[in-house]
Structure 1
Amino acid sequence: MTPEEERQAALNSYRAKLIESREWEAKLKNLRLEIKGLQKDFDRTEENIKALQSVGQIIGEVLKQLDEERCKHLTLSTATIGACDVIVKASSGPRYVVGCRSKVDKAKMKQGTRVALDMTTLTIMRMLPREVDPLVYNMSLEDPGQVSFAGIGGLNDQIRELREVIELPLKNPELFLRVGIKPPKGVLLYGPPGTGKTLLARAVACSLETNFLKVVSSAIVDKYIGESARLIREMFGYAKEHEPCIIFMDEIDAIGGRRFSEGTSADREIQRTLMELLNQLDGFDYLGKTKIIMATNRPDTLDPALLRAGRLDRKLEIPLPNEVGRLEILKIHAAGVVLDGDIDFESVVKMSDGLNGADLRNVVTEAGLFAIKDYRESINQDDFNKAVRKMAEAKKLEGKLDYQKL
């Protein structure tokens, strides 16, 4: 065999071995992926087996942690000191002195902490989250939506003051410490319906990316004595555990009305709810990351104790928009619609005296409906003119509605 033939044979052998090596690498890669998938199946099966074999646990509440001296007063032996150092109250009622697993962080275990106890030894196995009422949990699921301050027109001064009260203490608390003042705890938004009170609260929650609790005050009132006050306590407790958090209480006049000596049992329950709310506001930390916003369209009915400084430090009036504000609001709502040519919004605004922000949004909606009725895909000037006249006529009826008895 000539050297050239030997060289060619060696190259062919090398190529064959290289192809074979790549095939084995591909097989090895597939086997590794199969092993990884089987490992996941094994872990999942093992978890299911453990779940089937696991025993239920008793829910308890920590009453007090005992130190070494207190354990000696309980006539416990030296061997048991350290193992039995927590007094707990089981859900069934009895109290026990129990031990604690080494993995449980005792520093975080305070009075009132919910714990899981072993069925046989009653040893504390783990700490449980705070019990949350379903109504409070539903409040936390409220999504503020994608609302920005740029989408709110005619309220520049109110936005600035609201951000000073809510946003500044949450983002830069050191500024208040440096100056030596206490930031406001909360703010009251009051004004006619449809002026943007709820919208402002949602915009604040979106700009800060905080937890948001939207509370409809009338939903808190319960027919059973003490239940409404308990809901207030749980609501504020949930907010403190999920800081930063903004509590928005809409229609606060439902529970924050003036107190009087005479009344039914339902009125007294509402008054107890108000007293619990005042108590929770007094227990607030000024520099805490929980802020409260209240809104009402009847500020004259609120109890003076709720409005005093230290509870609701700032009261912001959200008035009906003026001509400049109405023009801003109308342009904001008309930004996403298809327009037929240039629209003279100023002439539309001049016919909209007395309309609020919600009415102006309806003006755009009504103009779109007029376009749909005429089988058009864009809104023209005439549609806006007819829509604003229709809303102005409907507005006149709001204070004149008189329903006859059936």
Structure 2
Amino acid sequence: GIEASLRRIAHYDYWTDSIRKSILIDAKADFLLYGMAEYSTLALAGCLQKKASPENLPGLCYLARDVPESALLLPSFYEVGDKKNKKKFSRMFMDFYLNNDPITAKMLAQQQDNRFLIQNPPWPAPSTAELDQIHGLDFEREVHPLDSAQGEVRAMETIRFALTTHRGCYGECNFCAIAVHQGRTVSCRSRESLIAEAKELTRHPKFKGTISDLGGPTANMYGFECEKKLTKGTCATKRCLFPSICPKMPIDHGPQITLLREIRKIKGIRKVVVASGIRYDMILADRKNGLRYLEEIVRHHISGQLKIAPEHCVDSVLACMGKPGTKDLLRFRELFFTLTAKAGLKQFLTYYIIAAHPGCRLRDMRELKKFAFRNLKLLPRQVQIFTPTPSTFSTLMYWTGRDPFTSRTCFVERNFQGREQQKEMLSIKKTAAKGHRTKNNPSGKHT
């Protein structure tokens, strides 16, 4: 699972405010498979069945007395756990992160107690045929009986009739764990597989005609990928989308437009919702099909509101997050409402915001509040306080107090009251008392 993936080497643990050993040691287990691990699980089972050593399997972590010759030796657990010298932890994490691509990764080793944690390179990104095979299995689309006995699981209604179009994400937001769990290379299912699953949904006794989501980690990354990345691996010194979109990323929303049109034609399907988040900067960068894609989304695939994640508006905070600036946000917002009005619909944008992220001060939240009223004409309600997740760059910043890309110190709000205060800056109750109203929001209510 993702918990094992993110805790596979020495990592910062927010709950204890300390560096912890690999979960492999804490769990007293023999092996750990990281990533989604469908095929590595089968491979490990095959080795165990044959009583053969699995230690060469991609995607495997295990403990050994000695370091293999080909392994890159990371600073030991005792070195990275030293609160007085956090540079060792930063160096360790950079080496760990850069060795997560199946094509370029090296074997890693890290001493923990009197043994070495060995991490083999990742299992290869799944092919289209492999993803089709996985999603073609006869899933129950129900809560496990052991869990259902404890009562209703409301989240099941969100995912029961959702279709996963692809896996992986190259957005690399610094607070997101997908890069080290699913990888930075996007693998897509075929249209045939998705259409077949959509038709299968219509035969389910609980299906009422709505596909609750057609997407993935980022909805509009379906159907294209960087050819260089597919053959030579991810770039070590550049990102695909930040600080600007790489010109070698062949962004094309055409395949997803075709897919959406075909699925909504299926008998028994009344509505196909794109509920996964979208990258609005990618839509604006696609001069061929970006506008057509947004028109399709606005006319047919929104259930009242579209989710986007600007996260903040202050450039220094956005840089710490690995997110684009507000220029594209405002361009996209104007385009969205223009197309919505043209379609004769009443639809909205939902903005996801993070408070107390490393680099963010109370004054930055105050600036965000002003920006929201002035430019978004509302106050975002989807505000969450940053919580450090193991194995992310944002957590690295939280622990070390430094931006690993610039080596500069960055402010970190560690005080509980201070973190709450940042979120409260966007509080509806606090703002409603002041009676803020806007042209598009005459009641003073906020979404």
The normalised TM-score by structure 1 is 0.27
Q: Which structure would you say has the larger Rg?
A: 1
User: Structure 2-normalised TM-score?
Assistant: 0.25
